[in-house]
Amino acid sequence: MRKKKRAQKIVFKSEKDVPLMAMSTGTMLHNKTGAWRNIKPVIDLDNCIQCGICWKFCPDVCIFVEDELPVIDYDYCKGCGICAEECPTKCIAMVEEEK
Amino acid sequence: MAKLKDLAAMEDRLVAGHGMCLGCGIPLIFRIVLRATEDPLIIANATGCLEVCTTIFPRTSWNVSWIHSAFENAAATIAGVESMYKALKNKGRIPKDKKIKFLGVGGDGGTYDIGLQALSGAMERGHDIVYVCYDNNAYANTGGQRSSATPLGASATTSPEGIKSPGKLQRKKDLTKILVAHNIPYVAQASPNRWQDLYKKAQKAFETEGPAFLNILCLCPTEWKCDESQGIRLAQTAVDTCVWPLYEVENGKYKINYLPKEKKPVLEWIKPQGRFRHLFKEENAWVLEKYQKQVDEDWEELNKLAKL
């Protein structure tokens, strides 16, 4: 399994904590872009041919290949639908997000 | 050639959590380009969508060293960094055989227009750098103003379509040819839908000693006003219609990397995009004709150059 990296919360307690120049002190993984989503992709793994096309065309870096099968990280998926469009066996369906 | 599975196992150098729009082509391109080298990498980034969305203070999406200075001088910055490392190697502070790659990145605004003189200077001085331009045809970060990469007839906020105007009246600047005229070792034009091709070109660019330049078509559903899931399809039609031919120029020798089975009419590239919608009015038919003629002429010229 891929290890999930945790992003720390960054708090500047006083002015002295703020860096003097614009520099990065943490990772953007803290920004859970999955909240933007209206529709979400669901993979039917029975029909998956493990071609990796969904992995290579994912703009949000949220599809990973684990044990040769694609896994979607719903924390970051924005629901653009490129994976469903490009899948050669059409085994990815875009379904309405339940809230 | 690395296999897809090996590449998938590599750690991402651009991580998730960035604030790019739905279906944006930029992260898609850079995941491929950054996988093309395993050496340590230093990136100088011009202002643009990529810089703004990946580094929202105080966080960053990059797993590599990354600098941002100003809009116009990404190429100058990375050239300076390269010279600094050369000096450190000469002084013996770092081992001489240590391989470090230098990458300048800019959008079409930061490369075609504002950063052109800095880029030209860096290429002329022959620094060992790679410059990647992601061309999304507009200043997408600031709301879609026209840039010199905007194609003929496209509607942008500073070249809007209306009763008197059919969108942008001028043709697109051919930056790749300008870079070829610098007589640098490697210049290429690529598209994200041809994945292997883009990966190979990025690998070649990193391996080249001396300056190398990659011009990559980047899908932008927000400014092209198309469905966000259609981006890769659109890139495919751009390649098939020869609006964006894929070719490389190695030491002055042209080579076309992709010959479409049958050259499609430009109409297929224009139809799905909202920014060209007004071209289907009767009074704007001449723009379509002019566009088609221009694409045909460019393609013919490219074929002639490749046969030399």
Domain ranges of chain B: 8-304
Nearest neighbour of A59 by CB, restricted to B9, B20, B230 = B20
Please indicate whether residue A2 or residue B152 has the higher confidence score (pLDDT): B152
| Cβ neighbours of A29 in B, within 8 Å | 15-17
Nearest-by-CA chain A residue for B228: A80
Contact B232 A36 (CB under 8 A): no
Q: Does pLDDT of A99 surpass 70?
A: no
- Tens place of pLDDT for every residue, chain B, 308 residues? 567 777 777 788 888 888 888 888 898 889 888 988 888 999 999 998 888 888 888 888 888 899 988 888 899 999 999 999 999 999 999 888 888 999 999 988 889 999 899 999 999 999 999 999 999 899 988 888 989 999 998 899 998 888 888 888 999 889 999 999 999 999 999 998 888 899 999 999 999 899 999 999 998 888 888 888 888 889 999 999 999 999 999 998 999 998 888 889 988 889 889 888 888 888 888 999 999 999 999 999 999 998 88
pLDDT confidence of residue B292: 92
Contact A61 B27 (CB under 8 A): yes
Q: How far is A87 from chain B (nearest CA, A)?
A: 12
Nearest neighbour of B16 by CB, restricted to A24, A65, A76 = A76
Contact B23 A25 (CB under 8 A): no
Please indicate whether residue A21 or residue B2 has the higher confidence score (pLDDT): A21
CB pairs below 8 Å between A and B: how many?
Answer: 115
Nearest neighbour of B4 by CB, restricted to A27, A52, A58 = A52
Nearest neighbour of B22 by CB, restricted to A7, A65, A78 = A78
pLDDT confidence of residue B1: 59
Helix axes B195-207, B26-35, angle to 10 degrees: 50
d(CA B58, CA A27) in angstroms, rounded, equals 8
The verdict on residue A74 lying in a domain is yes
pLDDT confidence of residue B38: 87
Q: Compute the average pLDDT of residues A87-96.
A: 89
Contact B56 A30 (CB under 8 A): no
Domain that holds residue A81: 33-96
Counted domains in chain A: 1
d(CA A77, CA A73) in angstroms, rounded, equals 6
CB-based contact, A32 to chain B, within 8 Å: yes
Q: Are B130 and B103 in contact (CB under 8 A)?
A: yes
Q: Which of A30, A51, A56 to mutate to test the interface with B (most CBs of B within 10 A)?
A: A56
The H helix count followed by the E strand count for chain B is 12, 9
d(CA A61, CA B15) in angstroms, rounded, equals 6
Q: Output phi, psi for B7, to 5 deg.
A: -65, -40
Helix axes B116-125, B74-91, angle to 10 degrees: 30
d(CA B73, CA B296) in angstroms, rounded, equals 34
Contact A31 B20 (CB under 8 A): no
d(CA B215, CA B137) in angstroms, rounded, equals 12
Length of chain B: 308
Can you say whether the dihedral through the CA atoms of B162, B168, B170, B171 is positive or negative? negative
Length of chain A: 99
Is residue B98 classed exposed, middle or buried when 0-12, 13-18 and 19+ CB atoms within 10 A define those classes?
Answer: exposed
The verdict on residue A57 lying in a domain is yes
| Cβ neighbours of B5 in A, within 8 Å | 52, 65, 68
Nearest neighbour of A61 by CB, restricted to B16, B22, B232 = B16
d(CA B236, CA B246) in angstroms, rounded, equals 11
Integer-rounded Cα radius of gyration of chain A: 17
The verdict on residue A24 lying in a domain is no
Q: Which of B10, B14, B28, B49 to mutate to test the interface with A (most CBs of A within 10 A)?
A: B28
Q: How far is B244 from chain A (nearest CA, A)?
A: 19
- Domain containing A41 — which CATH number? 3.30.70.20
pLDDT confidence of residue A1: 43
| Cβ neighbours of A30 in B, within 8 Å | 17, 59
| Claim: this prediction has a pTM higher than 0.80 | yes
Q: Which CATH number fits domain B8-304: 3.40.720.10, 3.50.50.60, 3.40.1350.10, 3.40.50.970?
A: 3.40.50.970
